Amino acid sequence: MTSTTFDIGGELTVRRLGFGAMHLMPAPAPVREASIAVARKAVALGVTLIDTAHMYSWGGNEELLAEALHPYPDELHIATKVGVSLVDGEWRYDGRPPVLRDEVDQALRRLRLDRIELLQLHRIDPDTPLADQLGVLGELRAEGKIGHIGLSEVTVDELDRARSIVEIASVQNRYNLLDREHEPVLEACEAAGIAFLPWRPVAAGNSGARAEVAAVAAELGATATQVALAWLLARSPVILPIPSTTGFDHLEENLAAARLELTPDHFDRLDLVSERG
């Protein structure tokens, strides 16, 4: 049985099945109250890693999480992302050091934290030298404003270049049972003990793939989504899925996937599905 926890950067212990807050909306009541209730329920059900971003409602998602969960339990860590900005009503990748520094300061204020334990660069800005983008994150770490640095949507080459500049604790790429484009990045993370946070972990898939996943789900008395999440947890000990939902039912269903044990036969059948899918 694989571990239910992972130490990000070798020291930040989180339960491997986390929660993505992107779909929670800082909208007026009653949507806001519903979003707050879901965030609180996630923590009540044992989530210790929540993922958000400056980009999600331009800080509104971070504020919502603070309203829902502050003061935070000791074991809870909220990871955020910077580097996608709103400029003249349009979003753009913006990794200029003063912008990253400002977005981190905004996040600290909105999340009501002295230190963000995991700060991820949402995207590498192609118009700013990588050494400048990671350099300022390294400075923020030295200043104690952030604990660990992560990346998002990177190739193996970008990960290698980043690691030659600063220590990287996590990578967040799109990856699920049926979408394994970033398999080489996952393998690089596994080799280096870097946390891999697959986004879009709730895989839909084509009808053929769905039929096989449904068959495994029926054998286990589980749902297809639970099988997809259990497969991710079984795929690699460095994988920390961050499924998102706006509903209690899906939240409970998704988090229960941590208790689902796939047999080697189930794992292999799903592995084949993903190759076809």
Phi/psi for 259 (5° steps) reads -95, 0
**Long-range contacts, stretch 2-5, CB < 8 angstroms, 24+ apart:** 2/233, 2/234, 2/237, 3/237, 4/258
Q: Considering the rule CB under 6 A, would residue 195 count as an interface residue with ligand NAP?
A: no
- The SS3 call for residue 6 is strand
Least distance CB 34 / ligand NAP (angstroms): 10
* Sequence-separated (6 or more) residues with CB below 8 Å from residue 135: 97, 165, 166
Whether residue 140 contacts residue 122, with contact meaning beta carbons closer than 8 Å, is answered with no
Question: 207-220 and 264-276 helices cross at what angle (nearest 10)?
Answer: 170
Q: Which is nearer to ligand NAP, 76 or 202 (CB)?
A: 202
Phi/psi for 205 (5° steps) reads 85, 165
Question: Which residues are designated catalytic?
Answer: 56
DSSP class of residue 17?
S
Least distance CB 79 / ligand NAP (angstroms): 9
Residue with the shortest CB distance to ligand NAP: 20
Q: Considering the rule CB under 6 A, would residue 201 count as an interface residue with ligand NAP?
A: yes
**Distance from CA of residue 117 to its chain's centroid?**
13
Q: Which is nearer to ligand NAP, 128 or 176 (CB)?
A: 176
- Residues 95, 147, 243, 277: which binds ligand NAP (CB under 6 A)? 243
Q: Which is nearer to ligand NAP, 41 or 250 (CB)?
A: 250
Q: Considering only the stretches 16-24, 69-77, 139-147, 205-213, report the one whose residues sit in contact with ligand NAP under the rule CB under 6 A.
A: 16-24
Least distance CB 174 / ligand NAP (angstroms): 7
Q: Considering only the stretches 7-15, 232-240, 245-253, 266-274, report the one whose residues sit in contact with ligand NAP under the rule CB under 6 A.
A: 245-253
- Cα–Cα distance between 116 and 11 in angstroms, integer? 14
Q: Which is nearer to ligand NAP, 131 or 204 (CB)?
A: 204
| Distances 61 to 42, 56, 66 between C-alpha atoms, Å | 15, 6, 9
Q: Which is nearer to ligand NAP, 126 or 144 (CB)?
A: 126
Q: Considering the rule CB under 6 A, would residue 247 count as an interface residue with ligand NAP?
A: yes
Phi/psi for 38 (5° steps) reads -70, -40
- Residues 244, 255, 262, 277: which binds ligand NAP (CB under 6 A)? 244
| Distances 233 to 61, 192, 239, 264, 267 between C-alpha atoms, Å | 26, 18, 6, 13, 11
Q: Considering the rule CB under 6 A, would residue 94 count as an interface residue with ligand NAP?
A: no
**To 5 degrees, how large is the angle CA 265–CA 207–CA 238?**
45
- Lay out the site mask for ligand NAP across 145-184 (x = CB under 6 A, - = otherwise): -------xx------------------x------------
Q: Considering only the stretches 9-17, 127-135, 246-254, 267-275, report the one whose residues sit in contact with ligand NAP under the rule CB under 6 A.
A: 246-254
- Lay out the site mask for ligand NAP across 104-143 (x = CB under 6 A, - = otherwise): ----------------------------------------
- Which chain residues interact with ligand NAP by CB under 6 A? 20-23, 51, 152-153, 172, 199-202, 225, 242-247, 250, 253-254
